[in-house]
Amino acid sequence: MKITYHGQSTIIIETNGKALIIDPFISGNEAAKVSVEDIKADAVLLTHAHADHILDAAPISKANNAPVVSNPELAAYMSWKGVENTIGMNIGGTLDLEFAKAKMTHAFHSSGIIDEENKNILYGGMPSGFIVEAEGKTILHAGDTGLFGDMKMIGDRHDIDIAFVPIGDHYTMGPEDAVQAAEWYQAKLIIPIHYNTFPVIVQDGNAFVKALEERGLKGKVLEIGESVEL
């Protein structure tokens, strides 16, 4: 299994000869090392409806004939954007993609699509995270979220190999709360995401990893375009 970080909250998991991408935000990220056209994916998973998580979902889906998996409201929106294959699911549910299983978990955040021109906000359904299981490994993508107590329950119920957690603050948890989340998740490896893309969420990933180590936890900063293998 190979997992590649593409900035903000975008990761690609390659497993069993297939690939899935979570929260594709590439064309809008100046620091991205790939183009949307470079992405090969067999499924597109979306945690919530904000632009920095769904911007490139439709073009990637169309180019790869890959289903978009999200909450039902966001799935409907993506179908209006020309995505022919959408799969709406909800928190607590598990989807068998054949090459991997994806379970939708809680996240505490907002979720909406802002139409600046018409001054309208479209409801984007409940925000979420995903637990992806394949090859006997468990990967958690926490989504955009603040700290909440049921993170401990998620950690108690799942043997998590890698947890991707937001540390940017302002819109999500900051580093201090993310360290607490990491303690509750009990993952073998913690990787920070959702930081340094915009000035308001600039954080020191290495300082976060050091704080994890002081708690006896293992962390790793992935540079944009860098991969880890399990």
The position carrying tokens 């979306």 is 46
Q: What is the pLDDT of residue 210?
A: 98
Residue 3 burial (CB < 10 Å; 0-12/13-18/19+)? buried
Q: What is the pLDDT of residue 196?
A: 98
Per the structure, the complete domain to which residue 196 belongs is given by 2-229
Q: What is the pLDDT of residue 35?
A: 97
Q: What is the pLDDT of residue 87?
A: 98
Give me the number of domains the chain comprises: 1
Rounded CA-CA distance 159/154 in Å is 9
Beta strands at 68-70 and 86-88: parallel, antiparallel or unpaired: parallel
Q: What is the pLDDT of residue 123?
A: 96
8-state DSSP, 38: G
User: Which two structure tokens, joined as six digits, stand for 38?
Assistant: 């470079």
Q: What is the pLDDT of residue 4?
A: 98
Rg (C-alpha) for the chain, rounded Å, is 16
Q: What is the pLDDT of residue 228?
A: 98
User: Which two structure tokens, joined as six digits, stand for 111?
Assistant: 């979720």
Q: What is the mean pLDDT of each run of 10 residues along the chain (230 residues)?
A: 98 98 98 97 98 98 98 98 97 98 98 94 97 98 98 98 98 98 98 98 98 98 98
Rounded CA-CA distance 12/212 in Å is 24
Rounded CA-CA distance 123/49 in Å is 8
Spell 79-108 as b/e; 16+ CB within 10 A means b: eeeebebbbbbeeeeebebebbebbbbbbb
Total-model pTM: 0.98
Rounded CA-CA distance 216/30 in Å is 35
CATH code for position 69: 3.60.15.10
